[in-house]
Amino acid sequence: MDFISPDLQHYVSQHSSSVSELLARIDRETHLEVLQPRMLSGHFQGRVLSMLSHLLRPKNILEIGTYTGYSALCLAEGLASDGKLLTIDVNEELENRVRAYFEASDYAAQIDYQIGDAAQIIPTLQLKFDLVFIDADKQQYPTYYEQALEVLNPGGFILIDNVLWSGTVVDEKHQDKDTSLLRELNLKISQDERVEKVLLPIRDGLYLIRKI
Ligand SMILES: C[S@@+](CC[C@H](N)C(=O)[O-])C[C@H]1O[C@@H](n2cnc3c(N)ncnc32)[C@H](O)[C@@H]1O
């Protein structure tokens, strides 16, 4: 969900950089052909991810939740020239589509796309990362957060998507599982002395966290 009006959202997008033809195609085809297209980061958040990645110039990026590959390709734009991006998704039905998108990109050689349960795969990784983007199963967010801290270099960053959960985190009448879990996690992170953090009200809420 967006916290600003559609007109302002349109203005913000219009005054941000445009995207590559490939990203525009992924956006269009995801909306036409894939279930739950709202999951795709989209133009504005994609440009934010790209800009943050350019600022950080990460050598290794871990993405949890590939979906159709849109955010992976945005993050890849800022990779160091010898950098790698590992992206994990449990949904094998999208595999062929996503592999074709990655192959058509400038980052094919830098992207490692793995199918499986991220919480199972991450503890087996040998690599350390400079940036981790968490955007998969909300019930696993606390696990992903701890796993991300484990595989992150000191000074590395975590980005967590959807932490405002359409604004329900501040509305006590919402006591469903996902809202309660995100409230607890946000509280935990806000009090966690292992990290510096700023919760950005971008799209559905993007927590930007730096491991000290
Ligand atoms: C919100 S979408 C990701 C959107 C994508 N990052 C983007 O911005 O374009 C969430 C994805 O997490 C994946 N997912 C759910 N549970 C998972 C798990 N246990 N391990 C890995 N991926 C999972 C889903 O299959 C889905 O594709």
Band (2; pLDDT cuts 50, 70, 90):
low
What's the 89 CA to ligand 1 centre distance in angstroms? 6
Cα separation, 147 vs 18, whole angstroms: 34
Give the pLDDT confidence score for residue 176 in this predicted structure. 96
Q: Which residues line ligand 1 (CB under 6 A)?
A: 39-41, 65, 67, 70-71, 88-91, 117-119, 135-137, 140
DSSP 141-181: HHHHHHHHHHHEEEEEEEEEE-TTGGGGGG-TT--SHHHHH
Residues 191, 32 contacting (CB under 8 angstroms): no
Band (166; pLDDT cuts 50, 70, 90):
very high
What's the 198 CA to ligand 1 centre distance in angstroms? 23
Closest Cα to atom 11 of ligand 1: 65
Give the pLDDT confidence score for residue 1 in this predicted structure. 62
Give the pLDDT confidence score for residue 53 in this predicted structure. 98
**What is the per-residue pLDDT across 176-189, written as a single tens digit (0 to 9) for each?**
999 999 999 999 99
Report the pLDDT averaged over residues 26-53: 97
Out of 31, 39, 138, mutate this one to test ligand 1's pocket (max ligand atoms within 8 Å of CB): namely 39
pLDDT exceeds 80 at position 96: yes
Cα separation, 191 vs 200, whole angstroms: 17
What's the 97 CA to ligand 1 centre distance in angstroms? 15
Cα separation, 7 vs 12, whole angstroms: 9
Closest Cα to atom 27 of ligand 1: 67
Band (197; pLDDT cuts 50, 70, 90):
very high
Closest Cα to atom 25 of ligand 1: 91
Outline where DSSP puts E strands in the chain: 60-64, 84-89, 111-115, 129-134, 152-161, 195-200, 206-211
Give the pLDDT confidence score for residue 3 in this predicted structure. 80
Considering the chain, what is the average pLDDT of its residues?
A: 97
User: What secondary structure letter does DSSP report for 110?
Assistant: G
Two structure tokens written together for 203: 């799209």
What residue type is 94 in one-letter code?
L
Give the pLDDT confidence score for residue 65 in this predicted structure. 98
Give the pLDDT confidence score for residue 204 in this predicted structure. 94
Distances (CA, A) of 28 to 6, 34, 57, 124: 19, 10, 28, 35
